Each structure stands twice: as C-alpha cells, then as structure tokens.
Amino acid sequence: MSSEELANHYRRIIVELGEDPDREGLRDTPRRAAKAMQFLNHGYTQSLEEIVNGAVFASDTDEMVLVKDIELYSMCEHHLLPFIGKCHIAYLPSGKVLGLSKFARIVDMYARRMQIQENLTRQIAEAVLRVTEARGVAVVIEASHLCMMMRGVEKQNSSMTSSVMLGAFRENQSTRQEFLTLVSGR
Ligand SMILES: Nc1nc2c(ncn2[C@@H]2O[C@H](COP(=O)(O)OP(=O)(O)OP(=O)(O)O)[C@@H](O)[C@H]2O)c(=O)[nH]1
Ligand SMILES: [Zn+2]
C-alpha cells in the first residue's frame, strides 16, 4: 500500500475517533503516522541474505560468543502497540563467525514487523542458526508491553522473558547454564 493510501486511512481513523483532521495540529498527522507505521513495519521489506550481506567469516574459535543488551522495539500483533526491551544472543561457532552488527540487524528485521515476543525470539534464533551453521544458538528477550501498561490490565512493572535454545544449548545443561550466567551477570 502506498504512503498516500495509508495516510487516507489514518485520516479516516482520526475522524472516527471524533477529531478534526483539518485543524492545524493534525493537518500533517495522517502523512506522518503513515510514514511512522511503515517504518515500524519495514522488516517485511528485508531479507536475511540482504542484511547479512555476506559478513560471515571463517574462524577457528569454538568458544561461546555472546552479544548482550541489543535494544529492541517491536509492535505487538494483537493491539499494534509497542513492546520494548533487550535481546541477548549467544552461539557456539563451528568454523564461521557472523559480523557483530549483523546480530542487531537480524533483531531489527524481525522486530520491525507485527509480532508476539515468543515468535520473535524463535525467528531470531533460527536466523542466526541458518547463517552461522553454529553448534548451538540461544536467544533471550526481556520486554515490556505497552498494551499491558497503557491499557488493559495497566501493569507498569511487569516484564516478559522469553527464550529459545537450539542445538548444544538445548542438549547440554552446562552450556545453557554458562549462557544464563553470562546473561544475568550485569
Ligand atoms: N504471549 C504473548 N501475549 C501477548 C503478547 N503481546 C500481547 N499479548 C497478549 O495478547 C492477549 C490478547 O488477549 P485478548 O483477550 O484477545 O485481547 P484484549 O481483550 O485486548 O486483552 P487484554 O490485554 O487482557 O485487555 C493479551 O493477553 C495480551 O497481553 C506477546 O508478545 N506474547
Ligand atoms: Zn498487545
């Protein structure tokens, strides 16, 4: 859908909510809201191959690599309200390592879509596994959901933690423990 069409829908929503889309403060709002919503959903226009851009490098390291505290902004698919948090990703390389910035790009590609946190966590883990062919991948997301804070049950201090463990992180208790210790050590 074009930005203009989307803006027309926003104009309609503003009217339905009882506001005047022609008053000065709202005059450009449909256009701005359309652009903002398109940005918040731009992950649909990206592919894993494109964002990784070949940044996978040969390496002998077989020790755990952890990328911690990657900030995350997503939209809950139930209410189209934001959920905001942090993502931690670990993997056990097997001959290849992934360019550091690409972990954040992978998080963003899936976060900038309509999501639930559990599916987002799994999609990130599976993408990292696919590009690195690692012995294992672990992903933890801690997030606060505005749909629970601004509306609904209106709980300001609850957060949700979700995790996905693949390969060695799933099979090996001590590997999983090492990851969880590294993640919680702040
Ligand atoms: N598991 C999970 N639930 C989510 C996520 N984001 C939002 N939700 C929940 O999705 C549910 C939707 O429930 P419904 O009863 O259909 O919608 P609702 O009437 O707006 O629900 P309330 O939020 O309880 O007012 C709510 O419990 C939300 O808290 C998420 O990322 N993961
Ligand atoms: Zn929600």
Taking all residues of the chain, what is their mean pLDDT, rounded to a whole number?
97
Atom of ligand 1 minimally distant from the CA of 77: 6
**Interval between CA 154 and ligand 1 midpoint (Å):** 12
12-38 tens-digit pLDDT: 999 999 999 999 999 999 999 999 999
Report the complex ipTM. 0.86
Could you tell me the distance, in angstroms and rounded to a whole number, from the CA of residue 120 to the centre of ligand 2?
Answer: 14
Say if residues 124 and 166 touch (Cβ distance below 8 Å): no
Q: Would you identify the CATH topology of the domain 54-184?
A: GTP Cyclohydrolase I, domain 2 (3.30.1130)
Q: Is the pTM of this model over 0.90?
A: yes
Using alpha carbons, select from 64, 76, 39 the residue that is nearest to residue 162: 76
Calculate the CA 161 to chain-centre distance: 13
Write out residues with Cβ below 6 Å of ligand 1: 76, 78, 116-118, 145, 147-148, 152-153
Domain locations along the chain = 3-40, 54-184
> Would you say residue 152 has pLDDT above 80?
yes
Q: What is the bridge-based pairing of β-strands 56-58 and 96-98?
A: antiparallel
Q: How far apart are CA 24 and CA 28, in angstroms?
A: 8
Task: Give the chain's length.
Answer: 186
Residues identified as active-site: 76-79, 117, 145, 147
Q: What is the pLDDT of residues 89-144, one digit of tens each?
A: 999 999 999 999 999 999 999 999 999 999 999 999 999 999 999 999 999 999 99
Residue 186 has pLDDT above 70, yes or no: no
DSSP states of 121-167: HHHHHHHHHHHH--SEEEEEEEEEEHHHHTSTT--SS--EEEEEEEE
Closest-lying ligand 1 atom to the alpha carbon of residue 117: 31
pLDDT of amino acid 3: 92
Q: Which residue in the block uniquely carries the two structure tokens 């990328």?
A: 67
User: Residues forming the annotated binding site for Zn(2+)?
Assistant: 76, 79, 147
Residue 89 contacts residue 66 (beta carbons within 8 Å): yes
